[in-house]
Amino acid sequence: MRNNSDGPTQPAGPGTPSASASQSDTAPRGQAAPPTPSMPPRAAETPTPARRARKGSISRAAWFALIVGLVVLVLLLVFILQNNTSAQFNFWAATFTLPLGVAMLFAAIAGALVTALVGTTRMIALGRTVRRLEQQHGERRGRRA
């Protein structure tokens, strides 16, 4: 049975629940039954499980990153120890000899530093843009007031 406040009450069709299944015997006809004691209303200050999980997610992510970092470090050490054959390198006017694994480690560090430099300059530029837009937005709000 459906009851809309805009229209008349219509009887339930075959295979649909009756009005008594969704309404209490003590509730007036056309009104919903009060909540049962088995489902109390949730208090606003009670933290949900999702909120509790988010509090620990930062430390969980830190532990995960630490473990991944240690695994990468072990793999890197194995790589350096297995590639200890000396190789000669020329860099501008300098000529030097390093183990191949160490030279590749230095190249990876240099690549990471270049990536970090590019990312930092982009973040600084975006920060300046955000501050400028916030100032413009504040000026517009000041004119309206």
Instruction: Please tell me the pTM assigned to this model.
Output: 0.46
* Domains of the chain: total: 1
Task: Report the 10 Å Cβ neighbour count for 105.
Answer: 17
Greater model confidence, 127 or 8: 127
The verdict on residue 22 lying in a domain is: no
The verdict on residue 13 lying in a domain is: no
pLDDT of residue 128: 94
Contact 96, 89 (CB under 8 A): yes
Greater model confidence, 50 or 67: 67
Exposed e or buried b for every residue in 116-142, given b needs 16+ CB within 10 A? eeeeeeeeeeeeeeeeeeeeeeeeeee
Greater model confidence, 143 or 109: 109
The verdict on residue 90 lying in a domain is: yes
Q: Rounded to an integer, what distance in angstroms lies between the CA atom of residue 138 and that of residue 13? A: 59
The verdict on residue 11 lying in a domain is: no
**Picking from 55-64, 72-81, 104-113, 122-131, which range would have the lowest pLDDT averaged per residue?**
55-64
* Residue whose structure tokens are 């030097």: 96
Q: Does an H or E element contain 135, and which?
A: helix 100-144
Structure tokens at 35: 């909540």
User: Domain range for residue 120?
Assistant: 57-144
The verdict on residue 126 lying in a domain is: yes
User: Does the structure show a pLDDT above 70 at 62?
Assistant: yes
The verdict on residue 81 lying in a domain is: yes
The verdict on residue 129 lying in a domain is: yes
Position 120 confidence tier, pLDDT thresholds 50, 70, 90: very high
Contact 136, 128 (CB under 8 A): no
Largest CA distance in the chain: 96
What percent of the chain is modeled with pLDDT above 90? 24
